[in-house]
Structure 1
């Protein structure tokens, strides 16, 4: 069972407010107690209001709980944008709440990233310049749908700014970071661009068609 699914099952079992021993929870989930302890530490680190310790058992402290929800990619974008805005306001309590909520979502979201996704995590707040990244989303989506070339200005992680003409192919969500897979005419290769590092995106009148080696199917992470 994927860890994200198991974490959700743990919360479901604890929702009754009763005390559950680690042994009983591990048996219900079909995992070792060692694995169960690691899962509980992950939930606590994510801000889930748990009380209890190893040897005594665990219970979910009173808190607002929501039933299982199924979110569309657009709804997830809207939620991310709201968190991004809340995380950058002046109120420290609101910023802390936004980051705590983001951690809780990360604990239960399905893993959609490839194994190398950790390489995309960056030291600054994951919400840094998030609003700027989301601002490019309509242009990028429209260009992907219309198969229309784009001219973008992009700031690399090292701070270098370049102007590129690209063929936008696919938007992807990597652990709270949105990226764009594209064929880059400057590098003559597939490239993955972080949306929060795209400064501008301009739709060009030129359309593109599939060419061998330049399609999404040809992309190798």
Structure 2
């Protein structure tokens, strides 16, 4: 690894540490709730290791806890993940190499790493993104392990007000992205779509529909962005 790549990776790790702290707390609550819903500790841990997506995991968990089957739970998780379609389309030109390498590195895209790696001109810092994701993944898995194995000591996670962390987390990411008028229009349109659909649509559908508003911002930068420089 050359010095420039190493420096970019470590910068990403440092930027990701505050978000990793939040991830650890959220995943701890997932571990506790998953075991309470009937998961074994191993199942909860493996879920976090493979899925690594808080909103999708909590959406599927709520369905399982309510007595729903695996198919509805997977469907809800897939819909919650749908926002990564727009994020992936935007990020793809900044990934070097062939399809397999691009697909593997694309698995490291999470909401915060995507936002922090965004250069604002339609391109993304791939190395920074990878570095930012590393501490968040470690914290997410570690929090789940603690919650799943010693959840009895934690007790009722609702009393800690952890349900407020998710919306606060995403609002914080959103605020950092509102630097241009077009971005603000896209965010406002997405919010209107989501609020309108939440009372009447199944879980995940509002996220999928609101994500369409991101195409406004994507269209704004596509025409201005030149060729991206590939980082080895």
Which of the five TM-score ranges fits, normalised by the shorter chain?
under 0.3
Which structure features the higher share of strand residues?
1
Greater Rg over alpha carbons, structure = 1
Higher relative contact order (CA 8 A, sep 6+): 2
